[in-house]
Amino acid sequence: MAAGAKAGASPLPAPVRTRVLTVANQKGGVGKTTTAVNIAAALAQSGLRVLVLDLDPQGNASTALGIPHHAEVPSIYDVLVDGKPLGEVVQECPDLPGLLCAPATIDLAGAEIELVSLVAREMRLGRAVTSYLREREDAGERIDYVLIDCPPSLGLLTINAFVAADEVFIPIQCEYYALEGLSQLLKNIELIKAHLNPALHVSTILLTMYDGRTRLSAQVADEVRRHFGQQVIRSMVPRSVRISEAPSHGQTVITYDPNSSGALSYTAAAAEIAHAGSVQGGTR
Asked if 117 contacts 89 with a C-beta cutoff of 8 angstroms, the reply is no
CATH 3.40.50.920 is held by the domain 19-280: no
Distance CA 216, CA 218 (A): 5
Cβ neighbours for 99, distance < 8 A, ≥ 6 positions apart:
40, 41, 44, 50, 52, 65, 92, 93
Cross-strand pairs, 205: 170, 232
Domain ranges of the chain: 19-280
What is the per-residue pLDDT for 282?
47
What is the per-residue pLDDT for 280?
56
Query: What is the mean pLDDT of each successive set of 10 residues along the chain, which is 284 residues long?
Result: 52 95 85 94 97 95 94 94 97 95 94 91 97 97 96 90 97 85 89 96 94 89 92 94 92 95 96 83 47
Alpha helices in 30-102 (DSSP H): 32-45, 60-64, 76-82
What is the per-residue pLDDT for 26?
78
Among 134, 140, 148, CA closest to 51? 148
What is the per-residue pLDDT for 182?
85
Give the strand order in the sheet containing 50-54: 91-92, 99-102, 50-54, 145-149, 19-23, 167-173, 201-210, 232-238
Amino acid code (one letter) for 89: V
Among 53, 30, 256, 6, CA closest to 162? 53
189: exposed, middle or buried (Cβ count in 10 Å: 0-12, 13-18, 19+): buried
Among 74, 66, 68, CA closest to 40? 66
What is the per-residue pLDDT for 284?
45
Give the CA count within 13 Å in the CB-facing half-sphere of 20. Answer: 21
Q: pTM of the full predicted structure? A: 0.93
